[in-house]
Structures are given as C-alpha cells and as structure tokens.
Amino acid sequence: MQKFTLHKGLVAPMDRENVDTDAIIPKQFLKSIARSGFGPNLFDEWRYLDKGEPGMDPTSRKPNPDFVLNQPRYQGASILLARKNFGCGSSREHAPWALEQFGFRALIAPSFADIFFSNCFKNGLLPIVLPELQVARLFDEVQGFNGYSLTIDLPRQVVIKADGTELPFDVQPFRKYCLVNGFDDIGLTLRHADKIKAYEAQRLARMPWLAQTMTR
C-alpha cells in the first residue's frame, strides 16, 4: 500500500449528498476480486452515456460531457470533495479500489458511511471529515477558481489551503500509523515475518512429519 504523508493535489467537487457505493462502482463490475482495473469504471453510470459492462474498452465509450470528472479543469484531480454520507449503501471494497485506481489519494466530506470509511483506510485512501460549513466554503472556492489545490499533511493532521489557512482534522492513531507507513492488513502481518519464520522452524523441529504435509 502506498504511504501517505504529505500530499498536494487538484480538487474535484462531487456536489451530491448520499453518494452510494453502487454509484461509485456499479454492481456489474463486482465480478472480479482482482484488486486492479476498476479506475476506468469509477462513477460509470454518471461518467458515460452508454451502459458499461466488464471488459469494455473505455476509449470506445461515450463520455458524459456534463459530469464533473469529465470536465477539463478537473483532469488529474487527486482530492475529491464530497457532501455528507458519502459511500453509503452496500459494503463493497471495490469502491475505494476504484477511487484509488482512478487517482484519488484523499476524500473530504462532512461525513462518510461507516464501513466505507473503514475500507478507505485499509486501501491507502484518506477520508477526511470536516465541519459542514468548512466543506461548503471549500465547494465555493473550488468552483470559483480553476486549478484549485489543497495540501494534506497527515502527520500534522491538517488540510492546508493556498492562502496558508489550516483546517485540522481527526484520525485514529492506529489508522494514521498504517497510512503513514503504507501498511495494509498484510503489511501489518509481514512486520513479524522473522518471528513467523522462527515459529515455523521450531514447530517443524518438534513435529517433522508436518514437512511432508506442507509439500503435498
């Protein structure tokens, strides 16, 4: 998992409340459990005018010119600004996969659905909760200025605006530790790889017949 410490990025506004996971990545794309290839189908039913199916070439699709992520001014955005209850609906982990693979590193909203919020941290995506009035002001600024960017300093837990204004946010220490160090669940386990190997060696020494079972 990619580490997250200091990130400066272009902001794209998703000016809708209650964006659910079926909108983030529609159900027909959930057939694959491979953790790759979902970025082209992020917000598929909003980004395209034709119906998408797994395996379709994105270059053959008909983009919706009115959808925010298709507008030239937001190309390359890596911070998504959203309204309250973002990520509601079913608990598909494909939703943060699609957001991260599209290029987003962080999300800012007044609130997130609980399971989606947790899944973001597990997949290297930083969801930031800010007061609704602060989020509303950010929407005004994003829409008012082309190329609007923010800097996110995770170690200091602040969002920094272009004028230097800092907006503090909360994050649980363990989740912060994992993001700063790039540890997903597997990475956390691999910190103890030497101890695991030592245990396996000791166990085989006590019960050598297990070696035959393990090689079958």
pLDDT, average across residues 15-22: 97
Cβ atoms of 73 and 146 closer than 8 Å: yes
- Residue 191: its pLDDT value, please? 57
Q: What are the beta bridge partners of residue 127? A: 107
- For residue 87, pLDDT beyond 80: yes
- For residue 214, pLDDT beyond 60: no
Helix (H) or strand (E) segment spanning residue 104: none
DSSP annotation of 58: G
18 phi-psi bin (left φ>0, alpha ψ -120 to 50, beta other): left
- Residue 213: its pLDDT value, please? 60
* pTM, entire model: 0.87
Phi, psi of 11 (to 5 degrees): -105, 135
- For residue 128, pLDDT beyond 60: yes
- For residue 135, pLDDT beyond 60: yes
How does pLDDT run across 53-64, given as a tens digit for each residue?
888 898 899 999
105 phi-psi bin (left φ>0, alpha ψ -120 to 50, beta other): alpha
* Domains of the chain in sequence order: 6-183 (3.20.19.10), 184-216 (no CATH)
